[in-house]
Structure 1
Amino acid sequence: MTETSPGSWPELTTARLRLRMWEARDAAPFAAQNADEETMRYLGGPKTAAESDAYIARTKTHWAEDGYGKWAVELAETGAFIGALGLQRIRFEADFTPAVEIAWRLTRGFWGRGYATEAARAAIAYGFHTLRLPEIVALTVPDNTGSRAVMERVGMKLAGEFDHPLLPHPHPLCRHVLYRLTKQTS
């Protein structure tokens, strides 16, 4: 992984990916990704273009306020937008907060190729080495086996389950699993 800072925001590159700041050209493919029912299955369902634009705006605000956030992820070779991945401060209260979460959302056509794992490893390294975070968490619904597999491939360990405080109970997505990864000191 290499890290560059073309502006005030860091950019990460891996063997196949570039994690960069959001650009105007990302709005349409991100909206298409968020309109896909299967992609959004565990994320509350499809979103409108306006909701996707609001997500991008919130992500940029997160970067401005916290100095980290979610990157737009593209294929290094072609520049094709494939999704979003990064670190964010959890903005709800739970027994494991305050905490910084790693989260991702990739376009369905790019699933199953190891991109989420590759990008997550780069973001985790950035979180531990540059931001000096002591721990990074991840969360999802128990049925999201794809994301859970990524969490396990990057070394995260299942730490328990909880009801998401921002979702009403009962709600089909209310129950979540929590994974943790602690910085290794040597």
Structure 2
Amino acid sequence: MHIETLRMTIRDFTPQDAADLHAIFGDDETMENCEPAYDFEKTRDFLSSFCIARKGAVAAVHRQNGKTIGYILFNEAHEGVYEMGWIFNRNFWRQGYAYESCRAVINHAFRERRAHKIFAEAIDAVKSVGLMEKLGMRPEGVQRSQTKDNHGNWADLYLYGLLEEDWRRQFP
């Protein structure tokens, strides 16, 4: 995959992304609503086995500085149905990079891959759910006390989805 936006390049991961990905996955605050922060070896193994070998995610690269500032899960779960998720370096939060990057991946999925549906899930009811809604996704349910957060507390899992027909109405 290779997508250019105004400020970002969305592309497949390479082994050279290990340090930038670790700046994301190794940060406790960034990983708060995901899983415990990774050490460098776990980041490198995940990059190699999932992001590169399985092509399960793409890199969001800041065009001005060339750094990978975002991880975007983009994985075909079933034929025509893609799971999407995102984790961005917190130094770039609240500046529209996640929206810009994810919007580009969604457009690519529906235009180029002829996706039927994209879905996402999160335990963060504020930032993640807000971005899912801004991306045009609709709530599909809440699995109450479905999973544990990084502190061992039970947390709700918010499920959102976007059908191709809904995307076409929003972005003709």
Tell me, in whole angstroms, the C-alpha distance in 2 between the residues paired with 1:164 and 1:55.
Answer: 27
| Pair 1:158-2:149 in alignment | no
* Runs of 4 or more above 6 Å deviation: none
**Given the alignment, which residue of 11, 16, 29 partners 2:20?**
29
The reply on whether 1:119 has 2:101 as its aligned counterpart is yes
Q: Which runs of 5+ in 1 are unaligned?
A: 1-9, 64-68, 92-96
Alignment partner of 1:62 is 2:49: no
Q: Partner residue of 1:179?
A: 160
Identity of aligned residues (%): 26
Question: Structure 2: which 5+ runs fail to align?
Answer: none
- For residues 16 and 117 of structure 2, the distance between their equivalents in structure 1, rounded to whole angstroms, comes to 33
Q: Once structures 1 and 2 are overlaid, which stretch shifts more, 123-132 or 109-118?
A: 123-132
Q: Indicate conservation of the 8 Å contact 1:134/1:183, yes or no.
A: yes
**Amino acid paired to 1:137:** F
> How far off is 1:146 after superposition?
1.1
Find the aligned partners of 1:45 and 1:144 in 2 and give their Cα distance: 19
Question: Alpha-carbon deviation of 1:107?
Answer: 0.4
- Choose which of 5, 11, 17 in structure 1 pairs with 2:8: 17
Letter in 2 for 1:102: M
Contact 1:42–1:144 (8 Å) recurs in 2: no
Kept in 2: contact 1:86–1:120 (CA 8 A): no
The one-letter amino acid of 1:122's match is: A
After superposition, residues 7-156 of structure 1 pair within 5 angstroms as 10-57=1-48, 58-63=50-55, 69-90=56-77, 99-141=81-123, 143-156=124-137
Q: Number of matched residues?
A: 164
Tell me, in whole angstroms, the C-alpha distance in 2 between the residues paired with 1:22 and 1:164: 34
In 1: Cα distance, 2:17 partner to 2:154 partner: 28
TM-score (norm 1): 0.78
Aligned counterparts of 1:127 and 1:178: Cα–Cα separation in 2: 19
> Does 1 or 2 have the higher relative contact order (CA < 8 Å, sep 6+)?
2
**Aligned partners of 2:132 and 2:160 also within 8 Å:** yes
TM-score (norm 2): 0.84
Which structure carries more strand by proportion? 2
